[in-house]
Structures are given as structure tokens and as C-alpha cells.
Amino acid sequence: MIILIVVVFALLGFVVSRKLKSKFHKYSQTSLRANLSGKEIAELMLADHNITDVKVVSVEGQLTDHYNPMNKTVNLSPDVYYGRNAAAAAVSAHECGHAIQHATAYSWLKLRSAMVPMQNASGKILNIVLLASLFGGFALGLPYELVGYIVVGSYGVMTLFTLVTLPVEFDASARALAWVKNRNVVTTEEYGMSKDALKWAAMTYVVAALAALATLAYYIMIFFGNRE
């Protein structure tokens, strides 16, 4: 069953990832009428929200764009940093949406950030328990039921993290789309492209959350499903 879950969601994730890359490539072919690069759009959006302590930098890779709250940087891949198209506009504005969330103490982002240490610790605990279970049953010498609580609890934290991530990503996209439209950074047609690109980017997080929920349900069934 766990293999089936992994395979199904791996395939679904692959399809969504391919679709996202396809959309990004498609919308990268049409230049913005405003002729602004991703870097320029990001800096303009930050300035419009009176954010002066966040830098916009270029990072290597494709679709490696992210906001780093630790050093307050909007990190854009070369295609987005230098790109002057609807896809670049959407992604750069989305990452600035996270910077705005940080600056305004957006509650879901605060919760997600607070959960990072718990999520990391849960991942390590889960790896230790599952790895130990491969050698002589449960090599840690713990009762089966206790192992169940550890596995379900740890994976529950990781699943909750993926769920909390969803409103953070959706909100960043909503902020991005509202700003590029109201600021006339994009035309009506370009807005549609930007919205579609961000929709498929959001789908990657939706798939991850669904996969986590399915896996958590499997562990609950395995450890506690046979109780009378």
C-alpha cells in the first residue's frame, strides 16, 4: 500500500511539475508590454510596500525562486531575474508576496516558520524509527504501540506543515496577482498568463499535501486500524 501511495503521488507530482515547466516556458515566449525584468518588478513591488531591507538577488537553477526570511532576500532564478515576460512577472511578484507577509507578520507565515524546527525534528525521528524497523523488526526495542505513536505523531507534524504551507502560498499568489494588475505591470492577456502560471505552481504544494495526508492515513491504519 505504501509503495502504491508513493508511486501514485510521485507520478502525479511528475505530471504537475512537467505542466508547470511547460506553462513557464510557454509564457516566457511573450515579452511584457511594460518591458520590466523580474528583478525590476520585484524591486518595484517591494518599494510600493515600503520594504527597504529586502534585497533581490539571482540564484542558480531553474524554478529555484524563493524568499529567505533569515537574510531577507528575494532569490530569483536567472530566467526570472532577467526575464521580461508574464512568467517572470508572476514568479518575482509571488516571492515578493512572501516578503510582504514577513514584513506584515502574516499569521500563517509565522505559524509555518515556528513549525520549521518541529518539522525538521520529526523528519529525523521518523527516519530513525523507520530505518530501525528494517533491521530485526523494531530494533529500538520499543513496544509496537509506542512505535506507532512515534511514527504517526512525527508524520502528523510533517503533514500539518504541508497543510499550513498551502494558505501561505495561496496568499502570496493573491498578493502578487492583485499588485501586478493594479500597478499595470501586465496587460489583461499577460495577467491571465501570470495567473495560470501561479495556479500550476500552487498545484505542486497541493499534491505534496495530499501525498502527506494519504501517507499519514496509511500509518494510522497500519498501527491502529486493527483495534477492537
Residues with catalytic annotation?
95
184, three cell numbers = 499595470
- 170 and 106 Cβ atoms separated by less than 8 Å: no
**How open is the CA angle 13-3-166, to the nearest 5 degrees?**
35
Helix axis angle for 144-182 and 107-133, nearest 10°, is 150
Smallest CA-to-CA distance from 159 within 200, 202, 205 is with: 205
- 176 and 90 Cβ atoms separated by less than 8 Å: yes
Inter-CA distances, 147 with 1, 126, 139, Å = 19, 10, 11
